[in-house]
Amino acid sequence: MIYLLIDNSNTRTKFRLADREKLLEWQGWLPTHEISLEAVKNLTRNLTFDAVLLCSVVPEKAAILRECFSTQQPFHQVNCYSKMPLSIDYPLPKQIGADRLANAVGVVKHYPVPAVVIDFGTAVTFDVISAEPAYCGGVIAPGLGAMNDYLHRKTALLPLVELAEPAQAIGKSTHEAMLAGAVYGYRGLVKEILVKLLEEIGSPTTIIATGGDAALIAAGVVGIDHVDPSLTLEGLRALAMENL
Same structural domain, 73 and 88: no
Same structural domain, 197 and 95: yes
Q: Which domain holds residue 17?
A: 1-77
pLDDT along the chain (244 residues), means of 10: 96 96 97 97 95 97 96 93 98 96 98 97 94 97 80 76 90 90 93 97 97 93 96 98 97
Same structural domain, 52 and 91: no
**Domain-terminating residue out of 77, 112, 127:** 77
**Domain-terminating residue out of 77, 102, 130:** 77
Query: What is residue 72's predicted lDDT score, i.e. its pLDDT?
Result: 78
Query: What is residue 154's predicted lDDT score, i.e. its pLDDT?
Result: 79
Same structural domain, 35 and 130: no
Neighbour-count burial for 57-83, b at 16+ CB within 10 Å, e otherwise? bbeebbebbeebbeeeeebbbbeeebe
Same structural domain, 138 and 59: no
Total count of domains within the chain: 2
Same structural domain, 64 and 89: no
The number of beta carbons lying within 10 Å of the beta carbon of residue 106 is 25
CATH at 52:
3.30.420.40
Same structural domain, 71 and 92: no
- How long a stretch of residues is the chain? 244
pTM of the model: 0.92
Same structural domain, 111 and 138: yes
**Domain-terminating residue out of 77, 99, 129:** 77
Catalytically active residues, by annotation: 99
Same structural domain, 195 and 244: yes
Same structural domain, 90 and 183: yes
The number of beta carbons lying within 10 Å of the beta carbon of residue 14 is 18
| The dihedral formed by the CA atoms of 88, 91, 93 and 99, expressed in degrees to the nearest 10 | -70
Same structural domain, 109 and 214: yes
Q: What are phi and psi of 219, to 5 degrees?
A: -60, -25
Query: What is residue 157's predicted lDDT score, i.e. its pLDDT?
Result: 67
Same structural domain, 141 and 178: yes
